[in-house]
């Protein structure tokens, strides 16, 4: 499998990028070359108001020093790799593998084998109403305007706390079910009540008229923070 990085910034906003120990020294050296102070905080790349510190109208590492200088997490995104499966991260806004791409997919150590699928009740609109109540109690606007999620997520989820839940049908239901299962099976968000949260959020996305899959990508990012 091959893919081409479009430098769309989907992995550069609202997602924390883990720095593996063997990458640390090289990234510090690259940051010094680019004049960036404190690129790493703890075990992650530093963010500046929801964006990676290396973001400058695109990935500065990629543009100036080459794709190979990016952290493993960035080079692998949006693929989730486990010993017996490959999936696309639902939090990617533009997940389109390109078989004509000139950059091979590098199979790094990824996730353990996915858990079994779970039953998702898309017809139970009480789940959507419950999630809406949780969003109203945050308040959502304060969370989305904060530094962690970035403008793409804010735009995709604005008004979700006022939407009326609607059960998805047809291709929308298939898309939401597939991405929800990936989120749950690979443990890509805090597990407590995750099935109910992905269903309720999906119902609100349909009710709000938000475009899919961008809306669900933003919802996955919000769930990943553990704020909901």
Residue 65 has pLDDT above 70, yes or no: yes
DSSP, residue by residue, the chain: -EE-----STTTBS-PPB--GGGHHHHHHHHHHHT-S--EETTEE-EETTEETTBSSSBHHHHHH-GGGS-HHHHHTTEEEETTEEEE-TT-TT----TT-SEEPP--S-PPPPPPP----TT-HHHHHHHHHHHHTTTHHHHHTSTTTHHHHHHHHTTGGGPPP----HHHHHHHHHHHHHHHHTT-S--TTHHHHHHHHHHHHHHHT--TTHHHHHHHHHHHHT--
pLDDT digits (tens, 9 = 90+) for 93-108: 765 544 444 444 443 4
> Which of 148 and 41 is assigned the larger pLDDT?
41
The helices-and-strands tally (H runs, E runs) of the chain is 9, 8
> Which of 15 and 64 is assigned the larger pLDDT?
64
The share of the chain scoring above pLDDT 70, in percent, equals: 79
48-82 burial, b at 16+ Cβ within 10 Å, e below that, comes to eebbbbbbeeebbbbeebeeebbbbbbbbbbbbee
pLDDT digits (tens, 9 = 90+) for 139-186: 776 666 665 676 677 778 888 989 999 999 999 999 999 999 988 888
pLDDT band per the 50, 70, 90 thresholds, residue 5:
low
What is the per-residue pLDDT for 193? Answer: 92
| Mean pLDDT value of segment 28-56 | 89
pLDDT band per the 50, 70, 90 thresholds, residue 133:
very high
What is the per-residue pLDDT for 73? Answer: 82
103 beta partners:
3
What is the per-residue pLDDT for 6? Answer: 67
Mean pLDDT of the chain: 82
User: Which residues have CB under 8 Å from 223's CB, separation 6+?
Assistant: 183, 189, 190, 194, 197, 198, 201
Q: Give whichever of 70-74, 93-97, 109-113 has the largest mean pLDDT.
A: 70-74
How far is residue 164's CA from residue 208's CA, in Å, rounded to a whole number?
A: 7
Q: Where are the alpha helices (DSSP H) in 70-192?
A: 72-76, 125-136, 140-144, 150-157, 170-185
What is the per-residue pLDDT for 82? Answer: 67
Report whether 78 contacts 10 (CB < 8 A): yes
- If you ran DSSP here, which 8-state letter would residue 97 be given? -
Q: Where are the domains of the chain?
A: 2-104, 125-225
User: Residue 87: which of 2, 183, 10 has the closest Cα?
Assistant: 183
Residue 60 has pLDDT above 60, yes or no: yes
């Amino acid at each position: 499998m091959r893919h081409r990085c479009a430098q769309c910034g989907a992995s550069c906003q609202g997602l924390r990028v883990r720095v593996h120990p063997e990458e640390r020294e090289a990234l510090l050296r690259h940051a010094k070359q680019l004049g960036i102070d404190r690129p790493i905080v703890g075990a992650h790349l530093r963010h500046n108001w929801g964006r990676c510190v290396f973001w400058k109208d695109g990935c500065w590492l990629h543009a100036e020093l080459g794709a190979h200088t990016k952290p493993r997490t960035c080079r692998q995104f949006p693929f989730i790799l486990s010993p017996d499966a490959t999936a696309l991260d639902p939090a990617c806004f533009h997940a389109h593998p390109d078989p004509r791409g000139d950059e091979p997919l590098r199979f790094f150590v990824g996730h353990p084998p996915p858990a079994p699928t779970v039953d998702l009740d898309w017809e139970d609109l009480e789940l959507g109403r419950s999630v809406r109540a949780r969003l109203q109690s945050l308040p959502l606007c304060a969370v989305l305007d904060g530094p962690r999620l970035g403008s793409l997520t804010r735009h995709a989820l604005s008004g979700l706390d006022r939407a009326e839940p609607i059960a998805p049908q047809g291709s929308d239901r298939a898309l939401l079910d597939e991405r929800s299962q990936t989120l749950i099976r690979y443990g890509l968000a805090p597990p407590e009540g995750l099935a109910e949260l992905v269903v309720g959020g999906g119902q609100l996305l349909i009710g709000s008229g938000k475009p899919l899959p961008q809306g669900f990508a933003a919802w996955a990012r919000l769930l990943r923070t553990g704020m909901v």
